[in-house]
């Protein structure tokens, strides 16, 4: 008789184990579909239906697995909006459905270490509600847009650090200029500040990836028509143009000086071309005649910058297009670096990989700055920046994600003996 409780316990444990295994298998199948479909944008969004089926079942069997909810939220998001172009329509319900899954991830695992698709769950929430807010703006519903951004913050996106970081950037830009972003994180946070706080609405914010989409660039033209040479530029909807490497030449202001740079083609097999976004970036630079700065995100991918990479000055918080070797900038470089708001780093939540990624980009800028100062014989200034780096971004609190940074930090420790 005494064997019955033991047999029952064994049966229960085996059943739980089997259910757990099944949940893991379902998660794996759902993940594979989400990942493969997301990598192939031409795949039918209907494939996400199958992924959702597997992931919902996995969540029923193992409701406390944060990775299941992360990929279920991703499937809901990509099913409704397979690419950014779909955000011309407002779909509040789909946004809510996806957001709730990422909110579950955070409740289950505030320091989420599962697999991600580009963004951590906090940044995903900001992206979902930021895109919804942008949809409202495009559809001329500014009050709804403000609500969407604020709702995204209430649900876990738009952190104190990220908003303060981009608030600091916006305040340092010259009036009526253009700021070109690269990823979702910077774009969404700046949209939040411009929509909710009405901060620096004179600055035209362009995401280099989304201005490829005609309705996005047309909306930006309606807000900031003066940054383009004409409406014809944004009304040209041809996605790519055949291109051989060529030199672009423009007059600088009303002077007799000119600025020239070479624009290389992108390549797909034997086909050489530039994208619509490249054409618009070239047009914006031409239209400024370099009398106003054009700014770019720090860490911007040089392949997305229409050959302008060699002419960007690193102002630590952002990059700035400069047509010529700027002696004034070189002489003031130490002050530019030293003015970095190190106190902001205390607000970083290390559970947010998007925030620690910002720290990593700024760390690279600091190390480059130290090397640049040393190479110009300014060792005392280099050491001062190094001491600030060690104080505010020590390796134990800000682990070096790239081996190059780790090696560079080691060499600096040897140089300065600390």
- Residue 167: C-alpha distances to residues 53, 150, 247, 415 (Å): 41, 16, 36, 35
Enter the pTM of the model: 0.89
Per-residue b or e along 158-192, where b marks 16 or more CB atoms closer than 10 Å to that residue's CB: bbebbbbbbbebbeebeeebbbbbbbbbbbbbbbb
CATH of domain 18-118: 1.25.40.10
pLDDT at position 217 is 93
Q: Pull the structure tokens for residue 181.
A: 């972003």
Q: Are 187 and 181 in contact (CB under 8 A)?
A: yes
- The percent of residues in the chain predicted with pLDDT above 90, rounded, is 58
CB atoms within 10 A of CB 240: 17
Nearest to 157 by CA among 132, 187, 127, 194: 127
CB atoms within 10 A of CB 23: 19
Question: Cα–Cα distance between 4 and 139 in angstroms, integer?
Answer: 67
Query: β-pairing, 178-181 with 294-297?
Result: parallel
Residues 6+ apart with CB under 8 A from 55: 26, 27, 30, 31, 34, 68, 71, 72, 75
Q: Pull the structure tokens for residue 207.
A: 């995401």
Q: Pull the structure tokens for residue 328.
A: 């004034």
Question: Cα–Cα distance between 243 and 65 in angstroms, integer?
Answer: 49
Q: Pull the structure tokens for residue 414.
A: 């040897």
The residues of the chain that CATH labels 1.25.40.10 are 18-118
- The residue whose two tokens read 């649900």 is 155
Question: Cα–Cα distance between 98 and 105 in angstroms, integer?
Answer: 11
Q: Are 359 and 393 in contact (CB under 8 A)?
A: yes
Below-50 pLDDT ranges, the chain: 1, 7, 10-18
Question: Cα–Cα distance between 161 and 344 in angstroms, integer?
Answer: 7
Cα 195 versus chain centre, distance: 18
Q: Pull the structure tokens for residue 375.
A: 């190479």
Question: Cα–Cα distance between 147 and 124 in angstroms, integer?
Answer: 18
pLDDT at position 102 is 98
Cα 383 versus chain centre, distance: 31
Question: Cα–Cα distance between 63 and 54 in angstroms, integer?
Answer: 13
């Amino acid at each position: 008789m005494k064997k019955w409780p033991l047999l029952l316990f064994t049966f229960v444990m085996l059943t739980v184990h089997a259910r757990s295994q099944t949940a893991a298998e379902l998660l794996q199948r759902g993940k594979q579909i989400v990942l493969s479909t997301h990598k192939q944008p031409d795949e039918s969004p209907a494939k996400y239906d199958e992924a959702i089926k597997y992931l919902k079942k996995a969540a029923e069997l193992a409701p406390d697995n944060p990775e299941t909810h992360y990929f279920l939220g991703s499937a809901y998001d990509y099913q409704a909006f397979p690419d950014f172009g779909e955000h011309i329509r407002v779909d509040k319900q789909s946004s809510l459905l996806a957001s709730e899954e990422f909110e579950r991830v955070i409740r289950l695992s505030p320091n989420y270490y599962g697999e991600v698709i580009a963004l951590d769950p906090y940044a995903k929430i900001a992206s979902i509600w930021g895109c919804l807010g942008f949809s409202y703006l495009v559809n001329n519903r500014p009050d709804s847009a403000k609500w969407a951004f604020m709702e995204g913050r209430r649900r876990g996106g738009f952190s104190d650090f990220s908003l303060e970081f981009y608030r600091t950037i916006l305040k340092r830009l010259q009036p009526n200029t253009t700021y070109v972003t690269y990823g979702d994180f910077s774009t969404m946070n700046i949209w939040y500040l411009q929509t909710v706080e009405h901060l620096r609405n004179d600055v035209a914010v362009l995401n280099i990836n989304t201005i490829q989409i005609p309705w996005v660039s047309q909306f930006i033209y309606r807000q900031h028509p003066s940054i383009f040479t004409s409406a014809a530029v944004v009304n040209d909807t041809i996605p790519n143009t055949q291109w051989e490497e060529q030199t672009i030449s423009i007059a600088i202001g009303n002077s007799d000086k000119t600025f020239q740079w070479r624009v290389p083609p992108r390549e797909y097999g034997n086909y050489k071309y530039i994208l619509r976004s490249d054409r618009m970036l070239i047009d914006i630079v031409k239209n400024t005649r370099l009398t106003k700065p054009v700014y770019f995100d720090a860490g911007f991918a040089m392949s997305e910058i229409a050959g302008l990479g060699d002419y960007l000055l690193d102002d630590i918080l952002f990059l700035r297009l400069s047509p010529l070797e700027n002696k004034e900038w070189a002489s003031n470089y130490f002050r530019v670096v030293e003015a970095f708001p190190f106190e902001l780093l205390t607000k970083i939540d290390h559970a947010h990989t998007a925030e620690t990624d910002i720290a990593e980009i700024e760390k690279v800028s600091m190390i480059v700055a130290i090397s640049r100062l040393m190479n110009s014989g300014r060792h005392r200034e280099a050491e001062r920046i190094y001491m600030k780096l060690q104080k505010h971004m020590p390796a134990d609190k800000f682990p070096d994600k790239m081996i190059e940074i780790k090696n560079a930090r080691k060499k600096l420790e040897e140089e300065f003996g600390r």
